[in-house]
Structure 1
Amino acid sequence: MSETIRNVQPVTVHLGNAGSGELVPSRYAVRIGDVDVVLISDGILPLPTSTMSTNVSQWDRNEWFDSRFLQRDMFDWALNIALVRSGERLILIDSGVGDGFEYFSRAGRSVMRLESAGIDLAAITDIVITHMHMDHVGGLNVDGVKARLRPDVRIHVAAAEVEFWKNPDFSQTVMPEAVPPALRKAAAKFVELYSKNLVLFDQTVEVAAGVSARVTGGHTPGHCVVDVASKGEKLTFVGDAIFEVGFDNPAWQNGFEHEPEVAVDVRIALLNEAAETGALLAAAHVAFPSIGHVAKNGGSFRFVPVQWDY
């Protein structure tokens, strides 16, 4: 592939209201039985491609990125959150990266996009945190957000996750130098702000009818996924268990995984589960809207995005 194609830069187009910054609404809804699920884009995180495959050669990594017409050095990670309505319960899954991170200036859109969808933060009854990395708790740390949430909002997070962030281990991660201190700071601030709202669980918890969270570990020791099941239909929001490269190369380890070998096992198990059941899958870091099916493809997997219904 030519260097010209590989280094192509994104083009920003401004249409509609001046200064809106929104080309299209960055949300996508599906219905799972009686439960409504909306995927919302928090924006984009530009990170080194090396973090996507820390246990393979640069040649193998370049080959995959070349095949996707992507740059070899930096990769735009999608960052998605979800909103789920089950009966009278309105559940937010993760909160995006928030503000205060200059190198993530293209993300932190969750609160604004919830508002543009007509969602009052005070209407949210429950929040599920898949894990306490800053791009998942940061939106809740933004000044003024806590005051807009209901005082009794329940924030479901694995007990193992809260315990891990008391003294986090980064020995197996491969992150940009500035990231670990920011992760520590964001996790500590989240616990400080919301300690009275935390609903800790060990392995699984039912958040609402048809909505449950289960601990997988791997990415972090207390990482969890969220299952939405109703009337024989199912969608699993897998958080950071599966990345864009993970379908073709499930054994590739990610630099943000605190337990990389466990994370590989978790990833393969979730991909096999989705392929065998036909359930929908959505993820924090798969290209928006990230909803699709998983098919087996020899020794790997193939992501089959939903046909965009608009």
Structure 2
Amino acid sequence: MSLDVTSPPVLSDVEELVPSRYAVRIGEIDVLVISDGVLPLPTKMLGHNVDQRARAAWLNDMFLPPDAFDWALNTVVVRNGRQTILIDTGLGMDPALNLPRAGQLVKRLKAAGIDLGSVTDVVLTHMHMDHVGGLIVDGVKEQLRPDLKIHVAVAEVKFWESPDFSRVDMPPGFPDALRAAAKHFRKEYESQLQLFDEEYEVVPGVIVTRTGGHTPGHSVVRVASGKDRLMFAGDAVFAVGFEHPEWHNGFEHDPEEAVRVRVRLLRELAETGALLAATHMPFPSVGHVAIEGDVFRWVPVFWDY
């Protein structure tokens, strides 16, 4: 028997070698983490307030390359039997940024058997391009329900009327792309926005809460049913943030507040034992948080097949 591989497998439009969705059951609520792809960024984005030698040491310890880091892009679908809630919508398509491995959400929703027209609610953790971009892809709006509700914090919408980029550290082109995406999104979906101040129950067991920090209206989503709990933390938590929560991420508009939010959420997760999922944690990003002294530790779940 020969083990030689003479050609790659032939894939259909929706089949992929690498899994792009992962199912979790939270009590009576179905949660599906869906990958929107990956976003390659300079490693400085992991902590632009620390010496590059410290970043290099962490990357080396994690067996990661020193110069560019592939950030996962995760979204979540929550279904409770009556409503289908999409939490964040991925990057969409921006040819000017040349990011061909991102913007996969529409294709992967289809592969998961989720029709865009079945989505009753969208929850936005914030309005950065990699969270609203999927809604402004050509042809998407026409597939959505006319009564779709899009939940987002008031503070987030106000921020993007005149966004402040003075404290971020982004690659060239990103600030302009973020401004343009937020403006485009607001123009298309203004009438469907459901604004909340601090906290809002989307459906029983699904609560969105404003945290601020990353952006003024940045929010997290808590899913609870029976004894089970899961938090989708959006951009409040990154892979480096367990060992180094004080490192400033390049996309944070208020870095000091983002650190306070990160530490508070990680402590909550360590104390409650709730599951964590987050946008830029390695797919499927589902796991627990442990705490040892002043240092947090990420404990990925064992995959449930």
TM-score (norm 1): 0.94
Other-structure match for 1:226 = 221
Residue-pair matches, total: 298
* C-alpha separation in 2, matches of 1:149 and 1:15: 34
Other-structure match for 1:64 = 58
* C-alpha separation in 2, matches of 1:62 and 1:25: 29
Structure 1 residues 270 and 14, CA gap change in structure 2 (3 angstroms): farther
Other-structure match for 2:81 = 87
Unpaired segments of 5 or more residues in structure 1?
Answer: 1-12
Contact 2:154 2:196 survives alignment (8 Å): yes
Other-structure match for 1:149 = 144
Q: How many angstroms does 1:165 deviate by?
A: 0.2
The one of 100, 103, 122 aligned to 2:94: 100
The one of 222, 240, 245 aligned to 2:235: 240
* C-alpha separation in 2, matches of 1:32 and 1:183: 33
Please list the CA deviations of residues 236-261 of structure 1 after superposition, one character each: whole Å capped at 9, or x if unmatched: 00000001100111111101000000
Other-structure match for 1:31 = 25
Deviates more, 1:92-101 or 1:178-187: 92-101
Please list the CA deviations of residues 43-99 of structure 1 after superposition, one character each: whole Å capped at 9, or x if unmatched: 000000001101110110000001111111110000000000023010000000001
Is residue 282 of structure 2 the alignment partner of residue 282 of structure 1?
Answer: no
Task: Please tell me the residue identity of whatever aligns with 1:138.
Answer: G
Secondary structure at the counterpart of residue 104 of structure 1: coil
Task: Please tell me the residue identity of whatever aligns with 1:305.
Answer: P
* C-alpha separation in 1, matches of 2:302 and 2:236: 23
Structure 1 residues 301 and 100, CA gap change in structure 2 (3 angstroms): same
* C-alpha separation in 2, matches of 1:259 and 1:216: 12
Contact 1:14 1:21 survives alignment (8 Å): no
Q: How many angstroms does 1:270 deviate by?
A: 0.4
Q: How many angstroms does 1:21 deviate by?
A: 6.8
Contact 2:125 2:218 survives alignment (8 Å): yes
The one of 122, 129, 133 aligned to 1:127: 122
Other-structure match for 1:208 = 203
Q: How many angstroms does 1:16 deviate by?
A: 4.0
Contact 1:14 1:22 survives alignment (8 Å): no
Task: Please tell me the residue identity of whatever aligns with 2:211.
Answer: T
* C-alpha separation in 2, matches of 1:247 and 1:296: 9
The one of 24, 37, 42 aligned to 1:48: 42
Task: Please tell me the residue identity of whatever aligns with 1:161.
Answer: E
* C-alpha separation in 2, matches of 1:236 and 1:17: 34
The one of 162, 168, 175 aligned to 2:157: 162
Secondary structure at the counterpart of residue 75 of structure 1: strand
Other-structure match for 1:181 = 176
Q: How many angstroms does 1:298 deviate by?
A: 2.6
* C-alpha separation in 2, matches of 1:20 and 1:158: 34
Q: CA RMSD in A?
A: 1.2
Contact 1:16 1:23 survives alignment (8 Å): no
* C-alpha separation in 2, matches of 1:154 and 1:14: 43
Task: Please tell me the residue identity of whatever aligns with 1:28.
Answer: Y
Other-structure match for 1:4 = none
Task: Please tell me the residue identity of whatever aligns with 2:76.
Answer: A
Aligned residues with identical type, % of pairs: 59
Contact 1:158 1:215 survives alignment (8 Å): yes
Structure 1 residues 165 and 124, CA gap change in structure 2 (3 angstroms): same
Secondary structure at the counterpart of residue 98 of structure 2: helix
Other-structure match for 2:3 = none
The one of 65, 71, 81 aligned to 1:77: 71
Unpaired segments of 5 or more residues in structure 2?
Answer: 1-6
